[in-house]
Amino acid sequence: MSTVPATLDQRRVPRLGGFNGTLFGLELRRMLRNKRTLFFTLLFPPALLFAFGSGSDMNESVGNGNVSAYVMVSMALYGAAITTAVAGSSVALERAVGWSRQLRLTPLHPMAYIATKALCALALGALAVGAVNVAGIAQGNADMPVVRWVACAVLALLCSSVFAALGLFVGYVVPGENAMQVLGPGLAVLAFLGNVFIP
């Protein structure tokens, strides 16, 4: 027996708390492998555009565009909000299966993990905004200047960052699979109150 106390090796904390492009890429690929995520990102928002933006009075001029452009921007924002909230709330499932607890054993800082989740949610939101804009171009009814079109897409993505934060918050507060049961109806009610579906 030795009387010399054992020394523990100091773990070196990685730069930026462990946030890096590899972690971001792996997390994004993991999210894109989920079929429900792809449905809510690429198919659901354009389907809403075709459902709500194909009336006979959609060519009526409003501001610097027409009603169809207004509906397209509304559906892009709603699609980005749903997508970012769902992606953010995925931490609830990771907590339920113990992945968050496993990550605490690594040098990854919790803020780096949250930042990775938020940036992945925004990347998926960008895909949703892009899908709705492509559907709007394919539909051919939306009419507004290109500068405003791009500005609306960027603003929709920036505004959806609030919903990414909301999804993360709900994912940390609500247990397991209940996160989407809270977010889905809540976002639908907010969209109706915000006049997203009816111009």
For the whole model, what pTM was predicted?
0.85
| Helix, strand, coil content of the chain in percent (nearest 5) | 70, 0, 25
Cβ-count burial 174-183 (b if 16+ within 10 Å, e if not)? beeeebbebb
**182: containing domain:** 67-199
CA dist., res. 110 & res. 191, Å (int): 31
Nearest Cα neighbor of 176 from 103, 81, 117, 89 is 89
- The answer to whether residue 5 sits within a structural domain is no
Integer distance in angstroms from the first to the last C-alpha of the chain? 80
Contacts 24+ apart (CB under 8 A), 145-148: 145/64, 145/65, 148/64, 148/65
For 83-110, write each residue's pLDDT tens digit.
999 888 888 888 888 888 888 888 888 8
- The answer to whether residue 42 sits within a structural domain is no
CA dist., res. 165 & res. 173, Å (int): 12
Task: State how many domains the chain has.
Answer: 1
- The answer to whether residue 110 sits within a structural domain is yes
For 102-131, write each residue's pLDDT tens digit.
888 888 888 999 999 999 999 999 999 999
Q: Which residues pair with 155 in a beta bridge?
A: none
DSSP state of 174: S
- The answer to whether residue 4 sits within a structural domain is no
- The answer to whether residue 16 sits within a structural domain is no
- The answer to whether residue 122 sits within a structural domain is yes
- The answer to whether residue 8 sits within a structural domain is no
Q: What angle do CA 65, 138, 159 make, to 5 degrees?
A: 55
For 36-94, write each residue's pLDDT tens digit.
888 888 998 899 888 877 766 777 777 777 888 888 999 999 999 999 998 888 888 88
- The answer to whether residue 136 sits within a structural domain is yes
